[in-house]
Amino acid sequence: MFSKFLNLDQEKQDRIINAAIKEFAQKGYERASTNEIVKEAGISKGLLFHYFGNKKQLFLFLFDYCYEIIAEQFYQKINLDEKDFFTRIRQAVMIKMELLTIYPDLFKFIEEAYMEDSAEVKIEIDKRVKEWNDANFGKAYEGIDFSKFRDDMDIKKVLKIITYTFEKLSEEELLKAKLSPTHHVDYEKVFLEAEDYFEIFTKCFYK
């Protein structure tokens, strides 16, 4: 599919990818300009289309690219020997924060992509997100000692409640950051707040 592009020398690939991610992250799919991308990447107009066919395919390629990098890094850093659920989740939250500071553009891009509602692109993104979630949900919980959980509740639903809560919390923090003048997330505060929720969940869901 993108084999022509992937055969380029790494430096050129990076130039193009970074230029494109930057533009999409800043302006969203619709407003992003392929003109700006080629200018920033220092390549010709025709070449971009030679490699990616059209804007949509470029966008989806980048989405997969970003997702893969982040996922790979994530599973490399996480310690799957840790059996306690909450310790594992705590780890995951910290790693996510770490990656956020290392790859802010990739996260920004992914975040924008999630919210993209250009009909053309949304369905494709949603499909990919679903696939990724299905594939990785199990992985993230690999080796967890679920015997610590109460027996009188559907454990799948319990996990969902926990996951939903942390997802919504981080969405809210990102929104707050966007509306604040500095645009910065106060990670320490977030982490402290998260601890409170861990405590509640432990009380509720552990035996």
CA of residue 146 relative to chain centroid, distance: 26
Q: Residue 1 is inside which H or E element, if any?
A: none
Q: How far is CA 193 from CA 44, 169, 186, in A?
A: 49, 9, 11
19 binds DNA (CB under 7 A): no
Contact 39, 21 (CB under 8 A): no
Q: How far is the CB of 168 from a copy of itself (least distance, A)?
A: 4
Taking CB under 7 A as the criterion, the residue among 20, 43, 113, 125 binding DNA is 43
Q: Which is nearer to a copy of itself, 44 or 118 (CB)?
A: 118
Taking CB under 7 A as the criterion, the residue among 2, 49, 132, 166 binding DNA is 49
Q: Which is nearer to DNA, 96 or 122 (CB)?
A: 122
> Could you give the dihedral angle defined by the CA atoms of residues 155, 156, 162 and 164, in that order, rounded to the nearest 10 degrees?
-160
Q: Which is nearer to a copy of itself, 77 or 148 (CB)?
A: 148
Query: Of residues 76-135, which lie at the interface with DNA (CB under 7 A)?
Result: none
Task: Choose the one of a copy of itself, DNA, none that binds residue 34, judging by a C-beta under 5 to 8 angstroms depending on kind.
Answer: DNA
Residue 28 region, left (φ>0) first, then alpha (ψ -120 to 50), else beta? left
Length of the chain counted residue by residue? 207
Residues that bind a copy of itself (CB under 8 A): 26-28, 30-31, 112, 115-119, 123, 126-127, 130, 152-154, 157-158, 160-161, 164-165, 167-169, 175, 178-179, 196-197, 200, 203-205
Q: Which is nearer to a copy of itself, 102 or 115 (CB)?
A: 115
25 binds DNA (CB under 7 A): no
4 binds DNA (CB under 7 A): yes
Q: Which is nearer to a copy of itself, 25 or 70 (CB)?
A: 25
Q: Is 95 exposed, middle or buried (0-12, 13-18, 19+ CB in 10 A)?
A: middle
Taking CB under 7 A as the criterion, the residue among 44, 79, 133, 180 binding DNA is 44
Contact 113, 20 (CB under 8 A): no
Q: How far is the CB of 72 from a copy of itself (least distance, A)?
A: 25
Q: Alpha helix locations (H) across 53-150?
A: 55-77, 85-102, 104-115, 119-140
Q: Classify 206 as helix, strand or coil.
A: strand
The residues that touch DNA, with contacts defined as CB under 7 A, are 4, 7-8, 12, 31-36, 43-47, 49-50, 53-56
